[in-house]
Amino acid sequence: MMLTVFGASGRTGRLLVDAALADGHQVTAVTRRPGAVAVEDRRLRVAVGELDDPSFMLGAVADADGVCSVLGSRAPRQATTLYSGGIDAILAAMVVSDVRRIVVVTAIPAEPAEMKSALERIVIHRLFHAFFGGGYDDMTRMEQRLAASDRDWTILRPPRLTNASAKGDYRTAIDGRLRRATSLPRADLAAAMLASVNDQTLIRHAITIAT
């Protein structure tokens, strides 16, 4: 499989690139910073450029069997358009290149209000939004852009991400709530993203995931 990873230099992105290479896939790792992806592998192509450069984006997704986005804001408290603007650029390039499959990461607080408990709506997620609302608000916009597109998308919504070793026994809920969803190792998120690319049953679904 040929996989394009946006956000490849981030903490989850690096693990996703490593996992894909370990499984024998060809990977295009997209980053803004030269030298940010230090892995050397004959199946790895590092693409350095900007999301708002249409020609760069076309080259980044060309011939891909799937696209993964683990883009993340470095200033989550501040208002941002990284997620929504990024997905607009990715989807535009995918349409032109006739690439259909995309898997992205948002977060549990970005889920629709009707999926939240009263405690989450009134207290927990309100506090999350007070501290990190800029990121969560734009994640919601990204989810809406995906839902309105004609691509074969899957959204993964994890809780708090940790640097713990992969457990390999994470739980999921499709388009619904997941009880006691409090944390997830980044390594398990990367593994779930990679597995989701070829899982046709997850197309056009949002998956809550936690250990």
Per-residue DSSP letters for 4-52?
Answer: EEETTTSHHHHHHHHHHHHTT-EEEEEESSTTS-----TTEEEEE--TT
In angstroms, rounded to a whole number, what is the distance separating the alpha carbons of residues 105 and 69?
7
Span 201-211, average pLDDT: 97
pTM of the predicted protein model: 0.92
Instruction: State whether CATH 3.30.460.10 applies to domain 2-210.
Output: no
Q: If we measure between CA atoms, which residue out of 163, 137, 144 comes closest to residue 82? A: 137
Q: What is the pLDDT of residue 118?
A: 53
- What 3-state class would DSSP assign to 78? coil
Q: What is the pLDDT of residue 136?
A: 85
**pLDDT tops 50 at residue 164:** yes
The CA–CA distances, whole Å, from 111 to 66, 84, 107, 142, 181 equal 24, 15, 7, 11, 13
Q: What is the pLDDT of residue 38?
A: 87
Residues in a beta bridge with 174: 207
Query: What phi and psi, each to the nearest 5 degrees, are found at residue 134?
Result: -60, -45
Mean pLDDT score of the chain: 91
Q: What is the pLDDT of residue 122?
A: 47
> pLDDT tens, 44-95?
999 999 999 999 999 999 999 999 999 998 776 678 999 999 999 999 999 9
Q: What is the pLDDT of residue 130?
A: 54
